[in-house]
Structure 1
């Protein structure tokens, strides 16, 4: 008897990661391809269909799971809006794939999918009230209450990166000033570090967040000062979330969160200074452990639920 599998895609602005996960949650195959740069409405569904058909030659496929950048209506499988992929907004991706393969299809936002993946097979198994953030160019985020994604009235809920932590602060692409992501994203850390180096007549044009954390470990004074402010900004934003939602756990993903224990330990320590004592718990913030695969696992889980293969 062949094992049933879910073919899963994680659609980003640069790459489309895809893989095969069986109904027990084991990743049996994965790969990635560049995201088409033009004619998205035609080329993207064709690319997904090609990969599905190829996998069907060797595996029993029971469903299709999609984790995608952008705002997503998970009930209809429509991409409501995407600023990462030109002309992607409005694509009825779930409907297109269902019509082609007559298999159950789930479509969900990538950060929400990653959070679900971590709850199923990652850092926060067994927890029901969770906040998940990815630190990168901005801050992606999602909220889980009682095991369910908080979507809001129009699938727009959970944009924690656009809560304000500094009154009349830095301008943000959303049109507001002082947004959390303008101070606590990896790109904010990099920008602040470069600015401080330039003030000291050291011209640096490019550096990664991971490289800055390495300089902190080496004792670089400017890196250490910028990092300390960065941890403080993160903790201010997270303390607001703690007081509002009282989550069991906060998960932080993104490359910078995978650079060892110090980063997460420093945030846990700083949050205790920013929150009322009654909210303190031994460990609140955890790093993502599924990394770049979290979205695939989440896409699989949501499709398995659609198939009634999971009862949690």
Structure 2
């Protein structure tokens, strides 16, 4: 049997796994992300290691940054220094002689959810991930809406506070400056300092733990966080009227209240004419969604996939 090697390249880690042609994830692990110029060789070495146990016939890559999937090229990345402009697909093919598919990590994760996850039985949906920033994709008729230049769906860079916090995109008041995990962490640090609360190694997950414990600073910043996410998603609902909104990212996993609290807030924000049932659900594939999407794209290129 032939197998697919898949990689999900992030700024901190590269997750990888092996799939069979039916989309079953057989093994998975992760390694630290090396310097940009080392990435092709690191992936090649991992492929060679996997080939000791699996007959690999293709490689699928989900990557941070803006990606040209037709050229297998990283157009721009602010997560990995020197990564912009890398012809990753071409370089890896020259090392492995295996066909290589490359796509943006958010689009890959969304494809994974369409294929095997929370969007499998949905025709129209909206997918977003909460992390350092906010990544998002629009799904219509079970296909990702790309737009004229493949940049459609950038909810994180829609302005919700005019003249607000400066954003890395060059504008001010973008949603991801208020509703990303990194924004939650930064808001907590500022609030804690103002209240004289000591802060050590704070993360989105630790803040969610503090919320469950009823810690006052965490509760205050969390309430604002939920408000801003809900403002952004209300705009999505009024504009696109999706069946469901699927949210991924570390802070949405586990038994935390975030999905429930967003749904409660949306019922107060969304116009009454819209359906009031819970519209937001958590990603069912979690951190593996990008790997599944990379596998789907590789199988699609080989024309041996299941149709989404």
- Normalised by the shorter chain, which TM-score bucket? over 0.9
CA change 1:167–1:308 in 2 (3 A) is: same
Is 1:299 the counterpart of 2:294? The answer is: yes
Report the equivalent of 1:172.
167
- SS of the aligned residue for 1:7 comes to strand
Q: 1:30 aligns with which of 21, 28, 31?
A: 28
Is 1:123 the counterpart of 2:118? The answer is: yes
Q: What is the CA–CA distance in structure 2 between the aligned matches of 1:97 and 1:206, rounded to whole Å? A: 37
Q: 1:275 aligns with which of 266, 270, 288?
A: 270
CA change 1:275–1:53 in 2 (3 A) is: same
CA change 1:101–1:181 in 2 (3 A) is: same
Q: What is the CA–CA distance in structure 2 between the aligned matches of 1:177 and 1:212, rounded to whole Å? A: 25
Is 1:263 the counterpart of 2:258? The answer is: yes
Q: 1:213 aligns with which of 208, 225, 240?
A: 208
Q: What is the CA–CA distance in structure 1 between the aligned matches of 2:265 and 2:237, rounded to whole Å? A: 13
Report the equivalent of 1:188.
183
Query: TM-score, normalized by length of structure 1?
Result: 0.92
Report the equivalent of 1:61.
56
Q: CA deviation at 1:207?
A: 1.5
Q: 1:236 aligns with which of 231, 234, 238?
A: 231
Q: CA deviation at 1:211?
A: 2.0
Is 1:311 the counterpart of 2:307? The answer is: yes
Is 1:161 the counterpart of 2:156? The answer is: yes
CA change 1:214–1:55 in 2 (3 A) is: closer
Q: What is the CA–CA distance in structure 2 between the aligned matches of 1:217 and 1:9, rounded to whole Å? A: 34
Report the equivalent of 2:84.
89
Q: CA deviation at 1:191?
A: 2.0
Q: 2:6 aligns with which of 1, 8, 18?
A: 8
- SS of the aligned residue for 1:277 comes to coil
Q: CA deviation at 1:298?
A: 0.7
Q: CA deviation at 1:20?
A: 0.2
Query: TM-score, normalized by length of structure 2?
Result: 0.93
Q: What is the CA–CA distance in structure 1 between the aligned matches of 2:118 and 2:307, rounded to whole Å? A: 20
Q: CA deviation at 1:79?
A: 0.7
Indicate conservation of the 8 Å contact 2:212/2:256, yes or no. no
Q: CA deviation at 1:261?
A: 4.9
Q: CA deviation at 1:205?
A: 5.0
Q: What is the CA–CA distance in structure 2 between the aligned matches of 1:69 and 1:155, rounded to whole Å? A: 15
Q: What is the CA–CA distance in structure 2 between the aligned matches of 1:4 and 1:126, rounded to whole Å? A: 28
Report the equivalent of 1:76.
71
Could you list the per-position Cα deviations for residues 79-128 of structure 1 after superposition, in whole angstroms to 9, with x for gaps in the alignment?
Answer: 11111112211111222233444433211001111111122222222223
Q: CA deviation at 1:201?
A: 2.3
Indicate conservation of the 8 Å contact 2:4/2:60, yes or no. yes
Q: 1:107 aligns with which of 97, 102, 119?
A: 102
What is the aligned length? 307
- SS of the aligned residue for 1:30 comes to strand
